[in-house]
Structure 1
Amino acid sequence: MFDAIVDFFDTIMQVLYYPVSGIMLAWHWLFSQLGLDPDSGWTWALSIIGLTITIRMLLIPLFVKQIKASRNMQLLQPKIRELQKKYGHDRERMAQEQMKLFREANTNPFASCLPLLLQMPIFFALFRVINGAANGTAHGFLSPEQAESMSQATFLGVQIASQFTDPTVHVKIVCAVLVVLMTATTFLTQRQLMSKNMPADALTGPYAQQQKLLLYVLPFVFAISGIAFPVGVLLYWTTSNAWTMGQQFYVIRNNPAPGTPAFEAKRERDKRRGKLQEPTPEAPAIEDKPAAPRRQQPKKQSREQRKKGPASQGQSPAADSQPDSDDAPDDEAGQGGAKS
């Protein structure tokens, strides 16, 4: 069983050697055409950075999905806590209700890990390509000459394939600095997400515990494993973390989750720029409710009209049933003639 897993892993790596080495060689050719020495360590280092940028650009749709999933998980935290109070005694029912809630919200709690999970095979493929070049083995599209060039290329006074375990003090210092940078960017990226784009009610509960776990465990894992990575792999991961930090900063700044410090900061910026209209008595903030009908005010009357009373405004039905004042004498005259 274990041998079958190893064979499957090697097959995947064999497939990934070609896109990883092909993208890196394309950048290496470009920098060589721009006048850099093909055997220079800077040329190979820039090629690895170009590979990193290419991979991260291809992962942008997944990163957007990750941000949306993370935001939905934050907004669902009050409902999840209600489910915990209601079904805390029944774990199976609790899990069913949570999955139902996730489906209704069109989110996935594991979507936030997709970019990291998809990068790991590429990460290991690059590790094998560089490590193979250091041992005189060419993987993917690398020719034996190019593998030899990469293994001997010097960057910051150390070879691209050098590791912290090398006995040279200078190599240990450079590798230690890169490991610290890789660990620090991993920590700061996760810290940025928790401090800027998570509402206060999302900082408690299982999702918050998951985020805190990633905040402290991932940097520790990379710090321990980083001593076995070649300089080129450390350069790849540090560049990838810096890209993630900048990309996440842009998304949080321009499209923050409601109820977060980043959301309030964006409102303040919009106020200063005049993009956000403050609610006023004349222009209420909520205008979707129908306005109450205005009470019609009576028309102003002159003093003479007020003295005359309602008759000046038109006769009432009762007045129409009474005889006109001009006709009254005629009726009396007719009655008098009849008496005589």
Structure 2
Amino acid sequence: MIPIANILQPLIDAAEAVITFLHDDVGFGWGLAIVGLTFITRMVILPLSLKQIRSMRHLQQHAPELKKLQEKYKGDKERLQREMMAFYKENQINPLASCWPLLLQLPVFLALYQLLNSDDFKADILAAPPAGFLFVDNLTEKATGVELAVLIILFIATQMGAGLVMSSRVQDRNQRLIMFGLPLIFAPFVANFPAGLAVYWISTNLWTLGQQWVVMHFWPPPDPKQAKEEVVAAKPPPSPPRKRKRRA
């Protein structure tokens, strides 16, 4: 079996090149260089993120029709699945579009994890101090004590902040629970990774928070009532009944 580090080696090399360039040539500290890597990654996948947002808006616009389908076929799961897939195809909706930006960040996260655990990279960081960032003493080691507590608080706050911006128009109770429950579930993982990874994830949360604010401010989702009216208005009016000719 091929080790994951070998599969990700090109991405690991790319991440190291970006961080080293930002540190050596631009003059950033190591922590700020990781933040820079985060923002560069998010800018690269920004077109896909915008495509995801358009797909979500399209899905929200057709939410009343989907709800009718769910009510109509709630007793037949197989038929409901077929009808929903046909509906997605007919209206050019991709329900998986929202997953791609997150999935594309995962290899970068894993590559940075491998890089921060590399003895050579650790030596480079220690040879060109500071090896920390803000209140973090060493980005290549796991945070402990007060450092860990602050990182967890920042992780939860930024993750929930992004969810709070999105939840202003989210009506479904389960979606709200997911938005605010996931940060609490993933928070303990901060303790098991190098502190530099926590800096990366908090930075990407801040980007998401800003991106969601801009989107919600300039491109708000349709109101459920308005979406229903637009869907009804988009449907062609029923043709008038044909008049029968009277026989002489």
- 2: distance between equivalents of 1:150 and 1:182? 27
Q: Which residue in 2 is equivalent to 1:95? A: 81
Alpha carbons 1:190, 1:214 under 8 Å: kept = no
Q: Which residue in 2 is equivalent to 1:176? A: 149
Q: Which residue in 2 is equivalent to 1:48? A: 34
Instruction: Give the 3 Å change call, closer, same or farther, for CA 72–152 of structure 1 in structure 2.
Output: same
Q: Residues 276-307 of structure 1, C-alpha deviation per residue, up to 9 Å, x if partnerless?
A: xxxxxxxxxxxxxxxxxxxxxxxxxxxxxxxx
Asked whether 1:160 is paired with 2:139, we answer: yes
Report the Cα offset of residue 254 of structure 1.
Answer: 0.8
Alpha carbons 1:151, 1:160 under 8 Å: kept = no
- 1: distance between equivalents of 2:31 and 2:47? 26
Q: 1:241 aligns with which of 184, 189, 205?
A: 205
Alpha carbons 1:56, 1:240 under 8 Å: kept = yes
Number of aligned positions between the proteins = 225
Report the Cα offset of residue 244 of structure 1.
Answer: 0.8
Report the Cα offset of residue 101 of structure 1.
Answer: 1.4
- 1: distance between equivalents of 2:128 and 2:11? 19
Query: Matches of residues 26-65 of structure 1 in structure 2 within 5 Å?
Result: 26-32=21-27, 43-65=29-51
Alpha carbons 1:17, 1:126 under 8 Å: kept = yes
Q: Which residue in 1 is equivalent to 2:237? A: none
In structure 2, give the amino acid aligned to 1:105.
Answer: N
Larger Rg: 1
- 1: distance between equivalents of 2:55 and 2:127? 43
Report the Cα offset of residue 105 of structure 1.
Answer: 2.3
**Which deviates more from structure 2 when the two are superposed, residues 7-16 or residues 184-193?**
7-16
Q: Which residue in 2 is equivalent to 1:66? A: 52
- 2: distance between equivalents of 1:213 and 1:157? 31
Instruction: Give the 3 Å change call, closer, same or farther, for CA 258–152 of structure 1 in structure 2.
Output: closer
Q: Which residue in 1 is equivalent to 2:8? A: 13
Structure number with greater CO (CA < 8 Å, separation at least 6) is 2
Report the Cα offset of residue 47 of structure 1.
Answer: 0.7
2:8 aligns to what SS in structure 1? helix
Asked whether 1:250 is paired with 2:214, we answer: yes
Q: Which residue in 2 is equivalent to 1:284? A: none
Q: Residues 99-137 of structure 1, C-alpha deviation per residue, up to 9 Å, x if partnerless?
A: 1111222222221122111111211211121122xxxx2
Query: Matches of residues 124-203 of structure 1 in structure 2 within 5 Å?
Result: 124-132=110-118, 137-138=119-120, 145-149=123-127, 153-155=131-133, 156=135, 158-164=137-143, 166=144, 172-196=145-169, 198=170, 203=171
Alpha carbons 1:130, 1:151 under 8 Å: kept = no
In structure 2, give the amino acid aligned to 1:68.
Answer: R
In structure 1, give the amino acid aligned to 2:139.
Answer: I
- 2: distance between equivalents of 1:95 and 1:56? 34
Q: Which residue in 1 is equivalent to 2:101? A: 115
Q: Residues 67-94 of structure 1, C-alpha deviation per residue, up to 9 Å, x if partnerless?
A: 1122222222211111112222221111
In structure 2, give the amino acid aligned to 1:31.
Answer: V
Alpha carbons 2:57, 2:221 under 8 Å: kept = yes
In structure 2, give the amino acid aligned to 1:18.
Answer: D
Alpha carbons 2:131, 2:138 under 8 Å: kept = yes
TM-score using structure 1 length: 0.60
Q: Mind listing any 5+ residue stretches in structure 2 that lack a counterpart?
A: 225-248
Instruction: Give the 3 Å change call, closer, same or farther, for CA 145–85 of structure 1 in structure 2.
Output: closer
Instruction: Give the 3 Å change call, closer, same or farther, for CA 213–104 of structure 1 in structure 2.
Output: farther
Q: Percent of aligned positions with the same letter in both sequences?
A: 33
In structure 2, give the amino acid aligned to 1:247.
Answer: Q
Instruction: Say what the alpha-carbon RMSD is for the aligned residues.
Output: 2.5
2:117 aligns to what SS in structure 1? helix
2:4 aligns to what SS in structure 1? helix
Report the Cα offset of residue 48 of structure 1.
Answer: 0.6
Q: 2:183 aligns with which of 205, 219, 227?
A: 219
- 2: distance between equivalents of 1:89 and 1:25? 58
Q: Residues 219-268 of structure 1, C-alpha deviation per residue, up to 9 Å, x if partnerless?
A: 023211111122211111111100111011111111112227xxxxxxxx
Q: Which residue in 2 is equivalent to 1:276? A: none
Instruction: Give the 3 Å change call, closer, same or farther, for CA 218–231 of structure 1 in structure 2.
Output: same
Q: Mind listing any 5+ residue stretches in structure 1 that lack a counterpart?
A: 37-42, 167-171, 261-340
In structure 2, give the amino acid aligned to 1:128.
Answer: Q
- 1: distance between equivalents of 2:4 and 2:81? 32
Which 4+ stretches in 1 moved above 4 angstroms? none
